[in-house]
Structure 1
Amino acid sequence: MYRYDEFDATLVRERVEQFREQVQRRLSGELSEEEFKAIRLRNGVYLQLHAYMLRIAIPYGTLSAAQLRKLAHVARTYDRGYGHFTTRTNMQFHWPALKDIPDILDELADVEMHSIQTSGNDVRNTTADQYAGVAADEIEDPRVYCEIIRQWSTLHPEFSFLPRKFKIAVTAAPHDRAAVAIHDIGLRIVRNEAGEVGFQVLVGGGLGRTPILASVIRDFLPKRHLLSYLEAILRVYNLHGRRDNIWKARIKIIVNQLGAGEFARMVEEEWALMRQDGAYEVPDEEVERIRAYFAPPPYADLPDDPPAYVAYKLSDPAFAEWAKTNVDRHKQPGYAIANISLKPHLGTPGDISADQMDAVADLSERFGFGEIRVTHEQNILLPDVRQEDLYALWKELRAAGLATANLGLISDIICCPGLDYCNLANARSIPVAQRIQERFADLDRQHDLGELKIKMSGCINACGHHHVGHIGILGVDKKGQEFYQITVGGSGDENAALGEIVGRGFGYDQVVDAVEQIVETYVGLRRDGETFLQTYRRVGVEPFREKIYAAA
């Protein structure tokens, strides 16, 4: 894992003390809430429906055991005993007192954590494939370049006041687990025909009020040019992005209006001028210095599928079920990636208690190398578990309430906080997610349905990524009543697609039945081995539309 250098440490400590002074000014009344707003947002503090909310950055979703224990301590000491993981792999605390937030940030600085640029019109937390460094199918470890982007973008003087927030994601595998197509900039690490490794660059993705998938503007960018090319993109955006309309301020609007070809031309023109003036390259020695922080741990020489692991799967059906859904292939023989679902039956998606955080931190050291990953689908994982230890790990997870065997299944729902917390929301999302979990509680049925991803947002801002859900649910307000619009056929992977609206919205008491009708339609139409998405792509939206409105 990356370790802060002296510049990081100094920056974070100084920022804490600056913010402490501003909080005191707000508490004393010297600053009004409106005057304080810009200051708190740049330090990751939101004012939500009932209280302030603090968002903590987890760069590229990587946590150490010490950092997770510190988050557990914050949850117990300053909040209500739990935290919430977001779709940008950050941690949110929904109930801290404003007076305590500087102390929280000071304590987090002890373990190299902060909340800088988790809000505001700047470059947000860069995300990556949660399997980075351990994926069997990756070309290179994308965290190296995420860290380079983090260092470059943090308090960048030119890009600290962009027209709107800006999100970057990096993936390095053919199977896109980072959803790069829904980001302002998506980077795919690829090989060209000469065998050189570089980046395919996508620009202009985003969801919200105007969902758009990113367009490729460069098929291959040599790695040494990464930062200068990103800078060229951001300069074009900073110059031409709208500041008069918050709904039209994202880069996706410019790319859509100009066309990807014209936007690419403008970026290339800006980049050529920068290189003419001596634009910097990323030095090889700096890349290697950062790469050393992500060197593989001391793996043992182990065989795949050891007899004990195979025997446990044969003798314990519950373990076999968990291993089938929650365990994934590791690049190192004899090891596995152990996914931990944060979507238990009737739980709040993405929530984790302080006790569970401590338990996972302990397990990461007992069964791995003290590292935890956070996924953009609001789950966590241990990246380096010996296959021979999986059964023992599973029993410990079960004791902690963390062994739900539903990864990628219908109850593994992405869900924003909705109207229970957020003052932007139009409708509740957590209770709807829980009712869907209740309806599909039978794990045997879930496994029979196979991969089926539900994603839900409580408002048009799409924090729950509903546009790219296999089934997407959007909460809307209709004359003071909560209604839910449903889409089908979305996907956030390498075959990214926006879901298609099936028709008019459903009331709070109707939406779960509508989901049931969609699922029944799929079961009736699927062919042997077909997933929900494959069936949808074969038959289209009309059979689903006919079924749910005939039953309504």
Structure 2
Amino acid sequence: MPKFLQSKLPVGRYAYDEVDRAFLAQRVEQFRDQVARRLSGALSEDEFKPLRLMNGLYLQLHAYMLRVAIPYGTLSAEQMRALAHVARRYDRGYGHFTTRQNIQFNWIKLEDTPAILDVLADAQMHAIQTSGNCIRNVTSDQFAGAAQDEVLDPRVHAEILRQWSTLHPEFTFLPRKFKIAISGSAQDRVAARFHDIGLIARMGGKGRPVFEVIVGGGLGRTPIVGVSLRDDLPEEDLIAYLEAVLRVYNEFGRRDNMYKARIKILVQALGREAFLEKVNAEFAAMDRSRYRLPPEVVEAIRARFGAPAFETLPDGAEALAAQCRADRAFAAWVGTNTHPHKQPGYCSLTVSCKPAGGIPGDATAEQMDLLADLADQYSFGELRITHMQNVVLGHVRQDRLFEVWQMLRANGLGTANVGLLTDIIACPGLDYCSLANARSIPIAQKLSARFADTTLQQEIGQLRLNISGCINACGHHHAGNIGILGVDKRGEEAFQITLGGSSGDNASVGQILGSAMSEDETVDAIARIIDVYLVRRTPGERFIETYRRLGAAPFKDAAYATV
């Protein structure tokens, strides 16, 4: 079995200690015994189900699916190679990156899962709490530790939350699953307002960060923008305050109806003020000394993250601009797929997993190996998975961008579309999921091919298009400027269009435009909606801004013009 051991402190990722390793080894052996008993018939499927879900193993339409945790989306090159090995040896040669910054393998054999978990544990990875009514993987900013505008590196606090929440005895069986996102910048790059708890860092007094705490957001059957409970939570009270929120939810959240069990329903039922009163009462009654997060503890966690050994470089903007003038395709990619870095001479780059006509979020084992090699060669051996189902190389020298782009393009990963129309978020849909009403992948592929022209996408500009195969909204369709929802229409697959969703600072829920249409009708309707935008927008106006100014009427008229 290949070994994926760390030879040194990894850059950008928390390094496990002996306690972590021993725990994972014990967990793997425990699940190995459970799998053996299931295969022998000693455990029924009903008895086995809660055990496998605790280890991230789902039974889908055609096979088992394993969801592997990627805490706060950060991977080492060695870990990416381990994932490539799993894809190649135990799946069908690929994996699927998800909106929770995890990866899913869709064709797993039950008897192979202990061996897979062995590989993951060897690489300091696991699948714990990727399912079940517990605190799921904490998501974070894909440019954490690199962005010019960040107040703090949110990966450090996400790791603190991971340690606090993993196998928490009080929160292992919540009313429903629970999702937390943390942004280290005042600019919301994590869709904080659509999470059970969203945290946005700001600089407070005395040079110490504080957090805005947003509670009760979510998508699914009841899409809701979360409410802000407070905007001044001191760093030292982070764990205590979140514990108070979770205790209130655990006590008062509904357990009689799974569709009304999320914290968003509780917040709406009580109202913000009554919910806040309960949280404050719980917070005041706690022995906060047990939960206090002093600066030295934060620094101790930070010290277990390896720091990049940045070179002192001149600003490479002028040379990069000259390269862009010489190559229009490279210029288009730099314009969409790079992000400013706080270190002069560097930038962060997003690798699009959305080629024209491709499956959003999929990566082959060969592509994973390539990304690991590029991370080693150009980005201190570190990668990030984004909640938009792409991959980030966080620390790339500006003067090496061109050669990175050439290698990406040669391997189907050089698409210049990040933030544009074909940077589609999509769940696996009915091709895999037993809950889905319709297939998400084919319509995503058709839309991607329809709008593949780079010049057209750049003319359209920034636009989020999200697709879900059912009302559970794993594709975040409510948060897309244009959303597509798969529905069952008299036994046939059909699609509803929503418009006006946004997951950023000015978050909003998309509204249904009209009746559901067939797949091809929906693709044509989207094209007509885009035409209306291009004709009616004012200079510099993004799609979401044009929609908010004009309202739904002109877009609805165009969408249903020939239906």
Match of 1:246 among 258, 263, 277: 258
| Distance of 1:280 and 1:457 partners within structure 2 | 39
Write out aligned runs for 1:292-371 (5 A): 292-294=303-305, 296-371=307-382
Cα displacement (A) at 1:470:
0.6
Q: Which residue of 2 aligns with 1:204?
A: 216
| Structure 2 unmatched runs, 5+ | 1-12
Give SS of 2:487's match.
strand
Query: Is 2:403 aligned against 1:382?
Result: no
Match of 1:473 in 2: 484
Aligned residue number for residue 214 of structure 1: 226
Structure 1 counterpart of 2:9: none
Residues 404-451 of structure 1 deviation map (CA, whole Å, 9 limit, x = unaligned): 001111111000000000000000110000010111121110111001
Cα shift readout 1:334-365 (whole Å, capped 9, x = no counterpart): 00111100000111100000000000100111
Other structure's SS at 1:212 match:
coil
Within a 5 Å distance, the mapping from 1:165-176 to structure 2 comes to 165-176=177-188
Residue 93 of structure 1: CA displacement? Answer: 0.3
Q: Which residue of 2 aligns with 1:229?
A: 241
1:73 maps to 2:85: yes
- Aligned counterparts, 1:20-419, within 5 A: 20-192=32-204, 195-275=207-287, 278-294=289-305, 296-419=307-430
Q: Which amino acid aligns with 2:552?
A: V
Are positions 1:17 and 2:17 aligned together? no
1:512 is aligned, of 502, 523, 534, to: 523
Q: In structure 2, the residue corresponding to 1:124 is in which secondary structure?
A: coil
Structure 2 partner of 1:442: 453
Cα distance in 1 for partners of 2:174, 2:181 equals 18
Displacement of 1:534 after TM fit? 1.4
CA distance in 2, matches of 1:456, 1:290: 37
What is the TM-score of this pair, normalised by structure 1? Answer: 0.98
Write the deviation string for residues 315-346 of structure 1: whole angstroms up to 9, x where unpaired.
11111111111011111110011110000011
Aligned to 1:545: 556
2:464 equivalent to 1:453:
yes
Deviation at 1:279, TM superposition (A): 4.3
Work out whether residues 186 and 201 of structure 2, in 8 Å CA contact, stay in contact via their aligned partners in 1: no
Distance 2:229 2:503 in 1: 19
Q: Which runs of 5+ in 1 are unaligned?
A: none
- Give per-residue Cα distances to partners, 1:215-261, cap 9 Å, x unaligned: 01112111111111111111111111111111011000000110111
CA distance in 2, matches of 1:360, 1:548: 40
Q: Is the 8 A contact 2:138 2:158 kept in 1?
A: yes
What SS does the corresponding residue of 2:244 show, helix, strand or coil?
helix
Give the Cα–Cα distance (whole angstroms) in 2 for the partners of residues 193 and 547 of structure 1: 52
Q: Letter of the aligned partner of 1:405 in structure 2?
A: A
The residue type paired with residue 456 of structure 1 is I
How far, CA to CA, are the matches of 2:152 and 2:562 in structure 1? Answer: 50
1:15-65 CA distance string (max 9 Å, x none): 111001000011111111111111101100000010000000000000000
Query: Is the CA contact (8 Å cut-off) linking 2:210 and 2:231 kept in structure 1?
Result: no
Give me the whole-angstrom Cα distance separating, in 2, the residues matched to 1:51 and 1:479. Answer: 27
What secondary structure does 1:84 align onto? Answer: strand
SS at match of 2:349: strand
Matched residue SS, 1:94: strand
- The answer on whether the counterparts of 2:216 and 2:267 sit within 8 Å (CA) in structure 1 is yes
Partner Cα distance (1:398, 1:223) in 2: 42
Q: Secondary structure at the match of 1:189?
A: strand
RMSD: 1.2
Shift in Å at residue 9 of structure 1?
Answer: 1.0
Q: Is the 8 A contact 2:215 2:226 kept in 1?
A: yes
Q: Which moved more, 1:528-537 or 1:420-429?
A: 528-537
1:97-130: per-residue Cα shift (whole Å, max 9, x none)?
Answer: 1000110001111110000000000000000010
Count how many residue pairs are aligned between Structure 1 and Structure 2: 551
**Identical aligned pairs, as a percentage?**
58
Is the Cα–Cα contact under 8 Å of residues 129 and 171 in structure 1 kept in the other structure?
A: yes
Quote the Cα distance in structure 1 between the aligned partners of 2:520 and 2:412. Answer: 29
Question: Are 1:433 and 2:444 counterparts?
Answer: yes
Matched residues in 2 for 1:218 and 1:240: separation? 21
Is contact 2:489-2:516 (8 Å) kept?
no
